[in-house]
Amino acid sequence: MVTLDRFRETYLNECAELLADMEGRLVAINVQSADVGELNAIFRCAHSIKGGAGAFGFHKTIAFTHRLETLLDKLRDGRLPVTDEAVTALIKSVDVTTAILKAESQGEAIPEDFGADLAQELDKLCGTEGQVIANPGLVEKSEGERKRETYKINFAPHDNIFMTGNDPLLILRELGKLGDMHVALHDERLPQLPNLNYGQCYLSWTIELTTDKGEAAIGEAFEFVADECDLKIEKIEKAVQDDVPRQTMNRRASDAIDANLAVTSIRVDLEKVDRLVNMVGELVITQAMLQVQTRHLSVEQFPELLRGVDELSQHMRELQEAVMSVRMQPVKSVFSRMPRIVRDIAHQLGKDIALVMTGEATEVDKTIIELLADPLTHMIRNAADHGIERPEVRLAAGKSAQGTVHLKASHQSGQIVIEVSDDGAGLSHEKILQKARQKGLIAADAALSVDQIEQLIFLPGFSTSDQVSNISGRGVGMDVVKKNIESIGGTIQVRSEFGKSTSMTIILPLTLAILDGMIVRVGAENYIIPITSIIETLRPKPGAVHAVPDGQDVLNVRGEFIPIVYLHAVFGVANAVHDPAQALVVLVEAGSHKLGVVVDELLGQQQVVIKSLEANADPVAGISGATILGDGKVSLILDIGGVNGILDREDANHLLREAS
Amino acid sequence: MAKTVLTVDDSKTMREMVSFTLKQAGYNVLEAEDGKIGLGVMALNSIDVIITDLNMPNLDGIGLIRAARADAKYKFTPILMLTTEGDATKKQDGKAAGATGWIVKPFNPEKLIEVMKKVCP
């Protein structure tokens, strides 16, 4: 046996994709009018997994996927009806296959009865319950024991059989391996030598073959020449022949497109891509350094050098974009898990829920996609479990019996926006307040704005569900979701209309590795403000800054009062300009709020490579990371949300002070 | 003398798997990543069996088979195409162009050797 262990990784990756594909298609199946093309595609997934498993000796995988294949085969050619039970069993099978595959690939022992219930269920659906499946991996060859039979075979190759590189002699040899054979040659058509056309076949044969391998094995010998010969195979003695009707499959055009796509892509280790991204990051720093060093050179003296540096920076930007795009993946890989979750919840709770997904092709950095999976799953669970009501409740409220959960992804000005909305019960402000008071999260008489009330659901230990169900009540609250999202530089907002809808919006950066930054100076320190969060920069007129009674300074920008924060005060920088009218105010957007950041001056715009501080320092509020500037100096990157949080905390302190 | 096989496929994994399997079985193996390169390799070498993918950039498998059959050197050489199961149309197109037979994906080493022995013992 040839060992193909080196291709294991490739196979396992492929399986993961096939299983995800299978699950997605299964969940989408409409039981009433199942599409043959879809069933074929699902069948091929199971078939491919089984096919590859043989190469690596994963016998349990073969045995289990064989059951899947048998059932799917019967479903696709209509021998069994597509039922809800069958689809549910198949969906469960995806999990079992995943588990078996994982265990076998890691050489772990699998209990004999693992997945036995499901296997039994599949057999029951197939109508093969209690039958022993003999050597399923080689099912084509050994469909039970066969009797020794004698066949008469008329084999008359067409004139052109050699033109396809086939050779009747080789076929006769193949047949000879199957059993005892007597061959009679018919050479009547053979012309005289001068008339012999080189490359044309004039011969035919009648063969008597006695074998226990069955007719299928004989047919296999002629597999490649079926269209290049007249062939008649009949059993001698018994003239009865089962004509096996050939299933013709309705192939869809999209299959061909899929095949084309597969051929134009390659698999690359994520590690290699990361190394590439890192190297490009280092290059960006080097390039920035070169640019700074050459800034004071005169064009007359060094025209070539300066042009080169210019071109370098342009190419760097393109290289960076190209490399980053390698890491980009459609959010589909996360979205595709959601239908299953919604389906399971709907099943379990007797709800009718439609999941609508849009923007699945939106591309995001792979790391972000991975980190997005858990929070998103939680939000979808929440929407389906707590959001959407039971059909009778919905009907009583004058809504349609079917609830809708909408999952949407889109790009908005260099960021990715993911929205989970449902047309369910909405958030009850009363309940939230009641709960918050009960848990002592707010003072009994605190007066909160609608925004503030809705923000309460993100507090640790908060859950408003009357009953904790076994679906989303797992002790993980929205506070964890919020923390997860914020840990990858995102923000989350909630909007709800009681009785009508809830919508959660996540805003995320496209990548975690590089950002466009504005370098600002405060005293002797440089800081980076992410360009995406900057709205405008202005120097306020004297008197435009007002102090509100709680001590917070606000800036009047065309009639809008925006809180301002002094960076020198936040980070304790000496020798900075204190008077905003002498300094600059950078207006930034932090979540749903605007904020004015007071800095001494703007030094310029630059792409910066984000270096995480976490490995070397504890998290610092208001700082998301560091970078190395062109002159080799380390500069801190501002986390606008965090700076805003510093303000909020002051707000909260005020609130508490007032409440007590 | 060991037989020489050319595997033409734009998927590196596929080429490597075919190549590895055949080398283990004692064949000489040459690789090409599309039909055009394949024809070049064929012109420079003496190939006993060609295994080709069908969907490829530059020159696809069908084009490669046609070109081979038009060349006296490869008129009768066994050419196997790699197809997905049930792709009857592709199989027919390939046969019409002059393919000898096919190997069904997903890749199965035993099956490959079996088919190789069938067309080129």
The class of domain A5-142 in CATH terms is mainly alpha
CATH class of A514-642: mainly beta
CB contact under 8 A, A263 and B11: yes
pLDDT band, very low/low/confident/very high, at A652 (cuts 50, 70, 90): very low
Residues of chain A with pLDDT > 90, as a percent, come to 7
Chain B residues close to A173, C-beta within 8 Å: 121
Name residue A340's amino acid. Answer: R
Which residue, B31, B39, B46, is CA-closest to B61? B39
Residue B4 CA neighbour count, 13 Å, CB half: 8
Q: How far apart are the first and last CA of chain A?
A: 79
Q: Among all residues of chain B, which has the CA nearest to that of A2?
A: B21
Delimit the domains of chain A by residue range. Answer: 5-142, 149-260, 271-322, 331-509, 514-642
> In terms of Cα–Cα distance, which of A469, A268, A508, A302 is closest to A384?
A469
Task: Say which of A165, A228, A263 has its CB closest to residue B76.
Answer: A165
Which residue in A614, A593, A615, A591 sits closest to A508, CA to CA? A591
Task: Give the residue from chain B lying closest to A249, CA to CA.
Answer: B86
pLDDT (0 to 100) of residue A15: 84
Assess whether the region A5-142 and the region A331-509 belong to the same CATH fold.
no
pLDDT digits 0-9 by tens, A527-586: 999 887 888 999 988 888 888 877 788 888 888 888 888 888 888 888 888 888 888 999
pLDDT in tens, B27-36: 999 999 889 9
A474 pLDDT more than 50: no
Domain A331-509 has CATH 3.30.565.10: yes
Question: A451-467: per-residue pLDDT in tens?
Answer: 778 878 887 767 655 44
Beta strand A204-211 with A149-157 is: antiparallel
Chain B CB contacts of A4 under 8 Å are 17, 20-21, 109
Give me the residue label for tokens 């909630």. A494
Does A10 reach chain B within 8 Å, measured CB to CB? yes
Contacts of A67-73 with CB under 8 Å at 24 or more apart are: A67/A93, A67/A119, A67/A122, A67/A123, A67/A126, A67/A133, A68/A93, A68/A97, A68/A122, A69/A43, A70/A122, A70/A126, A70/A128, A71/A122, A71/A125, A71/A126, A72/A39, A72/A42, A72/A43, A72/A46, A73/A43
CATH number of A149-260: 3.30.70.260
Question: Among A359-363, A482-486, A520-524, A647-651, which stretch is predicted with the lowest mean pLDDT?
Answer: A647-651
- Complex ipTM: 0.81
Interface of A with B in 249-268 (CB under 8 A): 249, 251, 259-260, 262-264, 266-267
* Residue A436: band (very low, low, confident or very high) from pLDDT cuts 50, 70, 90: confident
**What pLDDT is stored for residue A74 in this prediction?**
85
Nearest residue in A to B14, CA atom: A7
Q: Quick check: A134 pLDDT over 70?
A: no
Instruction: Report the percent of chain A where pLDDT is more than 70.
Output: 85
* Set of chain A residues whose Cβ sits within 8 Å of the Cβ of B76: 162-163, 165, 199
Predicted TM-score (pTM) of the model is: 0.45
Render the burial of A184-209: b for 16+ CB within 10 Å, e for the rest: eeeeeeeeeeeeeeeeebebbbebeb
